[in-house]
Structure 1
């Protein structure tokens, strides 16, 4: 898919402070050599526009380009290098002293608790549907992975060796484009937040690997490309391993089911869970290979 250049006010933001912070951060990225999208002022010289419901929006200029193809190693390499370049720039941008960084291990623990809650709900039911039947077959191993991931994340956070920076927040194949100038650029920064850069890399790798049956050669290509621009030390590699170990997609499916009507089961959710179980062996093989080198 190709994203067109132009201006749009369809980008919701969380309010005045978020809009100004995002504008300043994007301007810093551009000044440091990466021509990312910029936030524009309205005719009233404001950054934030509000609709009739008082929802806040920003006006920004897009960068035209073709989205990253999950079928192309070259595309995935290019996206990975662009992410590393972005992180190198954001590493120089100081976070406010009073800013709070979400705890990764607490977030993982909350998601594990949601799995347990859904398990207990299913146990109380006299009849189970197709989704619940599949869930009960596989939840134990996914929960074990989640709990192990949370343990590693807790250990790493307590060591305080990882340094937080601003992160993209949703770095995937849809949010990095190949431009007419022959460069890969990240786009759609509305989810930017303070955190650890390894979370961006883990999300990108997870999305690419899910589309490629957790192919080790694809993972190596993405990781090598990132490290050719930005090196990862032992702590960063352990953090990346813990993030990839966490069963993010399983938790997402569980959360979606928990918040849906139980009287009607979405066939798509059932199919997604069945596919996830089918690919779990390939995923675990890659995680084992990654563990061997970390």
Structure 2
């Protein structure tokens, strides 16, 4: 609970009419519109980076973002050894990933953001955050972690239902992981990384349904805390994967999202190829296995088993979608 809410907001030059809890923060209704007030959870450098990313978008005409309000020319306010941020906000609802119309709207919105986040520059001496070139390293690391999980389970004296199911399906998912990594190694990934670097391309970094707020008249994009220099196709990958997992990898649904993005921000063959190889990697299988390995509880969470069972039942439909996407890359 933040004390002195009125005092903090008034220092920005706004008058609080009402406030309530929401989104792990305080939603404030002011004489200058809806604002979100919360204690700053990131570093000062990260907050400035995020501010400049959104400033660039706004200057390009993309105004539906949760930009920081400034106080004393800073995107945060200091009081009693704590820092607070006050952002523009709206009372929209989160995007529904089971609603095709809303997900298409969100994908089109992402494409517009990506068009705006070109040639982003930062003041001299700024800390610039980048994930460029990290992808293949991370995929190899994840694949090695899968091998560790298999070794750990094999050495157990007693196998649970989860263990048996994991071992039974390990070879399939491991082969997909290797196929994905091999694909990246013969792709133009490194050239695309250099191109993104030279063009100053920035990703949202956490483009999920929770960060796309829909109203009757607009689509607002919020929470740029993970924004960074990176291949913008990674934002599209994360969003599509999340939607597809919840919709049983419906191939037609997936291709509609890609086509919707492409109409706004054209995808070339190299970009589609990167999208294919990222989606090919068994990310969910790795996440479930890694969580299981790192908790190492004596009892097995029922939810982990259910999650593993679910992705296994989606093998066939995911394969159908990937086959369709692979054809579009040629």
Which residue in 2 is equivalent to 1:113?
144
* TM-score normalised by the chain length of structure 2: 0.80
How many Å apart are 1:51 and its aligned residue?
9.4
SS at match of 2:284: helix
Distance change >3 Å, CA 262–CA 167, structure 1 → 2: same
What is the count of residue pairs matched by the alignment?
Answer: 289
Correspondence for 1:28: 56
- Give 1:9's match in structure 2, choosing from 35, 38, 46: 38
Change (3 A) 1:22 1:109: same
Cα 1:115/1:28, change in 2 over 3 Å? same
Give the secondary-structure state (helix, strand or coil) at the position aligned to 2:300.
coil
Q: Structure 1 regions of 5+ residues with no counterpart?
A: none
Matched residue, 1:141 = 172
Could you tell me which residue of structure 2 aligns to residue 188 of structure 1? 223
Q: Please say if 1:173 is aligned against 2:173.
A: no
Aligned to 1:40: 69
Residues 57/121 of structure 1: CA separation in 2 closer, same or farther (3 Å cut): farther
1-structure distance, mates of 2:255, 2:295: 38
Q: 1:195-239, CA deviations, whole angstroms, 9 ceiling, x for partnerless residues?
A: 111111011111111111111111121111101100000100100
Counterpart secondary structure, 1:191: coil
Distance 2:147 2:120 in 1: 39
Q: Counterpart of 2:319 in 1: which secondary structure?
A: helix
User: For residues 259 and 56 of structure 1, what CA distance do their matches in structure 2 show?
Assistant: 33
Give yes or no for the alignment of 1:255 onto 2:290: yes
Question: What is the TM-score of this pair, normalised by structure 1?
Answer: 0.89
Offset, 1:240: 0.5
Structure 1 equivalent of residue 99 of structure 2: 72
Q: Is the 8 A contact 1:63 1:187 kept in 2?
A: no
Deviation at residue 266 of structure 1 after TM alignment: 0.8
Q: Deviations over 1:75-112 (max 9, x none)?
A: 11100000000000102314789765242111100000
SS of residue paired to 1:185: strand
Question: Aligned partners of 2:312, 2:318: CA distance in 1, in Å?
Answer: 10
Provide closer, same or farther for how the CA distance between residues 88 and 158 of structure 1 changes in structure 2, counting only shifts above 3 A: closer
Unaligned ranges ≥5, structure 2: 1-21, 28-33
1:141-198 CA-to-partner distances (Å, cap 9, x unmatched) read 1111111111222333564134332111111222112134x22232111111221111
CA RMSD of aligned residues (A): 2.5
